[in-house]
Structure 1
Amino acid sequence: MKKSVLFIAVMLFGTTFMAAQEFVYFGAKGGVNFSTFSGDGFSDFNDESARTGYHLGLLAEIPVTDRFSIQPEVLYSAQGFDLVRREDNNDVEHQLDYITVPVMAKLYVLGGLALEAGPQVGFVVEEAIDFGSTERELYNDNRNDIDLSLGLGASYKFNKFFLYGRYNAGLTDIYDVEGVDAKNSVVQAGVGFLF
């Protein structure tokens, strides 16, 4: 399953660039995630603090005009949420790691400052419960393998480097369980480099 998801992501990423290779800027990016969920249904278990994770991957920026670009990406994104904070201050985390494929529209508003918005599809590649000192892998039949979300953010490019911040709001439920409305909610920040 993991290999087929990765293959699909690479094919989507590669096909996007075939038509405009000479105008494409390739790059890499990485940073921190602060993830939790929005909705309800886990009120007895949810800790208000977010899971701190990371994201890392590749991107391409395809200029359409001087001020407008399309930026597809393929990222490994460590997401999830804290279930509960115990008395010994060890969090119990539900870890959901995804391969995500955002496609962002970028509008440069002032110099290197750009506003970004676009859809993202995510494929679950790993799921675990972390009890602090131990971690248990699991597979949940009620968890959806595909996640759709909308990303909104901003970036600032200087020379070949750029800084960015983004909020990904989940559009689909994490779980297919009646009475549970839980969608991914992820804040990302990081740095990137264009080749």
Structure 2
Amino acid sequence: MKKLTLLAAGCALSASALAQTPTEAPRVSGLRSSTDYAPGTGSDSRNNGFGIKAGLNSAHVRGDDKKNYGDVGTYQNFHAGAYAQFGFTDKFSVQPEILYTRQGFEGSSMARNNTGKYFTRLDYVQVPVLLVYNFLDNVSVHVGPQVSLLTKVREGGQERKIADENDASGNPIYGYSYSSLDYGLAAGLEARVGPARVGGRYVAGFNDIIKDPTRTGTQAIDNIKNGAFQVYVGIGIAN
């Protein structure tokens, strides 16, 4: 976690140095500042374009029932996808994205037959829609809502259905199912260096990961929610 935070902070500081005016620091050949782009919302505005991005997740869970999992830890994996950016001033723009992201957590639960510690991996198609504000020449803050569709679940290395399954006698195997939809907020910083982008953000899910628990006599497991720190690099295909 510390490494991810230091990486994102270092990227932002580096881009801030590159964003200084020519009187403050030498201009780096090939880098475009805001004054090199057409103002407003035209096709040559720096706040219009699209590209691809990919990076790392450090995912975890939040919520009242987190305490009912033993040895709770983070789960590291990746995210990747594409973004588009639509500017409406020199400073403000909207950036929708579509990402494939792997989140989850590590821990043990009495609601599962496996009493040891295991990884729960949750694969989502995630769509954030972010308001972007360029507070420095090549550094911006991003914040906005997101929705996520759950596509796959793996528990302890074994793939399972999102809905609970029944055994041969018709009884639930797990006693709980997963929420197919999540929604929440994302916020972070991004630095631009020429066509490249480097950033970090935190994404917080508001919906419970697990729903419809039917087991009795065990500790509750349904009030847990997604959270993840993300760092990424991107490349602009246009602007």
Question: Structure 2 length as normaliser, TM-score?
Answer: 0.65
State yes or no: 1:146 paired with 2:170.
Answer: no
Shift of 1:46: 4.3
Q: Residue 178 of structure 2: SS of its match in structure 1? A: coil
Match of 1:87 in 2: none
State yes or no: 1:45 paired with 2:69.
Answer: yes
Q: Deviations over 1:127-159 (max 9, x none)?
A: 11134xxx3333334311000010010100111
| Structure 1 segment 1-195 matched on structure 2, within 5 A | 22=43, 24-84=48-108, 92-131=118-157, 135-141=158-164, 142-177=177-212, 179=220, 180-195=222-237
Matched length: 169
Question: Structure 1 length as normaliser, TM-score?
Answer: 0.79
Deviation above 6 Å: which 4+ runs of structure 1? Answer: none
Task: Give the residue type in structure 1 aligned to 2:162.
Answer: Y
In 1, the alpha carbon distance for the partners of 2:156 and 2:223 equals 22
In 2, the alpha carbon distance for the partners of 1:82 and 1:21 equals 47
Task: Give the residue type in structure 2 aligned to 1:174.
Answer: I
Q: Residue 207 of structure 2: SS of its match in structure 1? A: strand
Q: Deviations over 1:9-36 (max 9, x none)?
A: xxxxxxxxxxx99464110000000111
Contact 2:162 2:180 in 1 (8 A): no
Larger radius of gyration: 2
Moved more, 106-115 or 174-183: 174-183
Change (3 A) 1:157 1:32: same
Shift of 1:172: 1.3
Contact 1:115 1:154 in 2 (8 A): yes
Contact 2:200 2:232 in 1 (8 A): yes
Q: Residue 41 of structure 1: SS of its match in structure 2? A: helix
In 2, the alpha carbon distance for the partners of 1:138 and 1:164 equals 34
Change (3 A) 1:21 1:51: farther
Shift of 1:41: 1.8
Calculate the aligned-residue CA RMSD, in Å: 2.2
In 2, the alpha carbon distance for the partners of 1:115 and 1:46 equals 36
Q: Structure 1, unaligned stretches of length 5 or more?
A: 1-19, 85-89
Quick check: which one's strand share is greater?
1
In 1, the alpha carbon distance for the partners of 2:66 and 2:90 equals 46
In 2, the alpha carbon distance for the partners of 1:155 and 1:194 equals 13
In 2, the alpha carbon distance for the partners of 1:192 and 1:154 equals 13
In 1, the alpha carbon distance for the partners of 2:70 and 2:88 equals 43
